[in-house]
Amino acid sequence: MTWWEWLLDVCGALLLLCVLYGVGLIVRRRLLSRDGGTFELSHRLRATTPERGWVLGLGRYSGERLEWFRVFTLSRRPRRSWRRDELSYDGRRAPAGTEQASLYPDHLVIRCQSPDGLVELAMSVSSLTGFQAWLEAQPPGTDWNRTKGL
């Protein structure tokens, strides 16, 4: 086998891996959507540098939890998860500076408080409406005095 035949085989194998990865991402998104509607939800993992640290992802409501999945991974497990009774809505703002290029188009940055501290999410206006309704629709017996910022 000559060097160019070997190179052609390697390129073909890499192309096959890229196609399989793309198909895997599509199948994963379908499987996640099957268990409940998903929506585009970015999460700021690192807040140490202003306007940086954003990771694109998908959000899904699963009972009393909001689950966050990274977009470009094949894992079916959520990377982060927040309980409804531990989150409080703190406000929203438009993306600033480099955030506009890091986030999905027309998304707003949402600030929430949790026992672990500040949580910054980015979602569309329609997803924000659903998020606020989900936060407010707490089950019977909820201590409404504890929930602030709605």
Structure tokens at 122: 């980015």
Picking from 94, 97, 2, 9, the residue whose alpha carbon sits closest to that of residue 53 is 97
How confident is the prediction along the chain (150 residues), in pLDDT tens digits per residue? 888 889 999 999 999 999 999 998 888 888 888 877 789 999 998 776 777 889 999 999 988 899 999 998 888 899 999 999 999 999 999 998 888 888 988 999 999 999 988 999 999 999 999 999 999 887 666 555 555 544
For the beta carbon of residue 68, count every other beta carbon within 10 angstroms.
20
> Which helix (DSSP H) or strand (DSSP E) does residue 28 occupy?
helix 3-34
pTM of the complete model beyond 0.85:
no
Structure tokens at 121: 């999410």
